[in-house]
Chains A and B, each alone.
Chain A
Amino acid sequence: MAMLKVTDLKVYYGVIQAIKGISFEVNQGEVIALIGANGAGKTTILHTVTGLLKPKSGKIEFEGTDITKMPGHKIVALGMAHVPEGRRVFADLTVYENLMLGAYTRKNKDEIAETLQMVYTRFPRLQERKTQLAGTLSGGEQQMLAMGRALMSHPKIILMDEPSMGLSPIFVNEIFDIIKQVSASGTTVLLVEQNAKKALEIADRAYVLETGNIVKSASASELMNDDSIKKAYLGE
């Protein structure tokens, strides 16, 4: 059974249809990439999956539970974390406070402390800056904070929306290394990326989205050798 199963999803903004009936699946342990041009609907899909947007029709199941109508704040507790587009860290809160908000739905203090230690080990910069306001971090550091914050919920699956956007090449590599580590530690990953090349390098499978429709779905290696994909997304 798929961990995350989306069936015939349709999402509207007012009268404009942004998602036109898409279906996809993410299995336990996979890294799935969702690639597509600007405005294809990638962010809309992630927002709908984590409950920030409600679909007009279709079904979203997580580990067999229908979460289509569940309010966003309850979905996190099931084990789904979302690193949103543009990071959206809480600028006026400290790094530490941001991380603790990531663990908002968890109760066990010892377990939270353990996860915090794990996050600090993975992102030493966050530990160095834990008392600093998040708004004063650099873009790359904010991205790390957004990822660390998502990890604080100890998720089974983590959805990431363009984590490499606007970062220097060194930071981009660092972020992709971390995604690999997160995946290696057993967390399932659904990755939205403009940087299709990098995304396909670490993904198992990928879906290609064009103006609200999934136009292709294949293994990452297959897509990397697909001529039309090469031309449209890999710049070759």
Chain B
Amino acid sequence: MSLLNSILEQLINGLRTGSIYALIAIGYTMVYGIAKMINFAHGDIIMVGAYALYVYSSILKLPLVAAIILTVVTCSVLGIITEKIAYKPLRNAPSLAVLITAIGMSFLLQNVALLIFKATPIPFASVVNVSGIRLGSLYLSGTTLVTLGVTVIAMVALTLFVNKTKAGRAMRAVSEDRGAAELMGISVNATISLTFAIGSGLAAVAGILYISQYETLMPTLGALPGIKAFVAAVLGGIGSIPGAMFGGIILGIIESLSKAYISTQLSDAIVYGVLVVVLLVKPSGLLGKLKIEKV
């Protein structure tokens, strides 16, 4: 009974962390699908989101809802701007140039945060003030409930948007064939901007949830969830939105179970090991489709 209970508890922990990974992974995967690039600065948008929430709610003392909305808007706008100034000029450049630029952008964001907020970690109490619930012998904290709830809502909304709206359809068309989409009258630039805005907005949400869990602000706080989410996106099949959602959740659960039952030190190794095995068996990832690269 108590083993079952502990497994359930770990599963829920995994779901919570996995939800955050999934929200971030969606940004990686959408940007990859549309712009055919890995945006390595994406993890740092989480960090910007966390600091933005701190500034709006703790320093400027705005009401929580306003602070959250402003945080999401800030990150979306930042996402659009990074694309416009750093990636757009490289649209026809070799992918290595784009990759290096994205890494540079990541350093830039971290160092700007370092400059403004200094290296000393800033404690920042969770903004979630929802009380937890007890299900039998199982306790679900408020942060867990909010994280799961927000993630489910975000995923359903995104799925509906991509599959049922005109803009979502245009997005799928651009990710498949930019030139043909242009011939339909779709602005490829506007679609790419929209993709960065959505991805960065979700990263902001992830940043808010993440900081509610860890309660400490550091300029490098986005790096770890960023890389984990990237692994999740590849695991699920880069380019596939359901893949990113699934990959994030699976990764969170594997991580939490291996931390609890195998070894805290080895948990990361196990996560990457799973990635390697999956890619060996299915190079396109769990839900990805094998695309033949067009030259």
Contact = CB atoms under 8 A, between A and B. Distances in A.
Q: Do A and B come from one complex?
A: yes
Interface of A: 50-52, 71-74, 76-77, 81-82, 84, 88-93, 97, 100-102, 104-105, 149, 153
List the 7 closest A-B pairs by CB distance, nearest first: A105-B185, A76-B185, A88-B180, A72-B182, A101-B184, A104-B185, A104-B184
Contacts of A89: 180
7 contacts: A52-B179, A52-B183, A71-B187, A73-B185, A76-B183, A76-B185, A104-B170
B184 A76 contact: yes
Contact of B173 (A51, A71, A101, A105): A101
Contacts of B186: 73, 101, 104
B291 to A, nearest CB: 10
Q: Secondary structure of the B side of the interface?
A: helix
Nearest to A80: B183
Given A72-B182, A101-B184, A105-B184, 17 more contacts: A73-B184, A73-B185, A81-B183, A88-B179, A90-B173, A90-B176, A92-B172, A92-B176, A93-B169, A100-B166, A101-B169, A101-B173, A104-B166, A104-B170, A104-B185, A105-B185, A153-B184
A158 B186 CA distance: 18
A100 B177 contact: no
A50 B181 CA distance: 12
B264 to A, nearest CB: 41
A113 to B, nearest CB: 15
Nearest to A75: B185
Interface of B: 166, 169-170, 172-173, 176-177, 179-188
Contacts of B187: 71, 73
A90 B185 contact: no
Nearest to B169: A97
A51 B188 CA distance: 13
Contacts of B170: 101, 104
Contacts of A93: 169, 172-173, 176
Contact of A88 (B169, B172, B177, B188): B177
Contacts of A84: 179-180, 183
A102 B183 CA distance: 9
Identify the interface centre among B173, B183, B184, B186: most chain A CB within 10 Å of its CB: B183
A76 to B, nearest CB: 4
B183 A90 contact: no
Nearest to A150: B183
B159 to A, nearest CB: 15
B46 to A, nearest CB: 30
A146 B185 CA distance: 15
A105 B176 CA distance: 19
A51 B166 contact: no
A142 to B, nearest CB: 12
Contacts of A90: 172-173, 176-177, 180-181
Contacts of A73: 182, 184-188
Nearest to B190: A73
A101 B184 CA distance: 6
Given A90-B172, A97-B169, A101-B173, A77 B185 contact: yes
A203 to B, nearest CB: 23
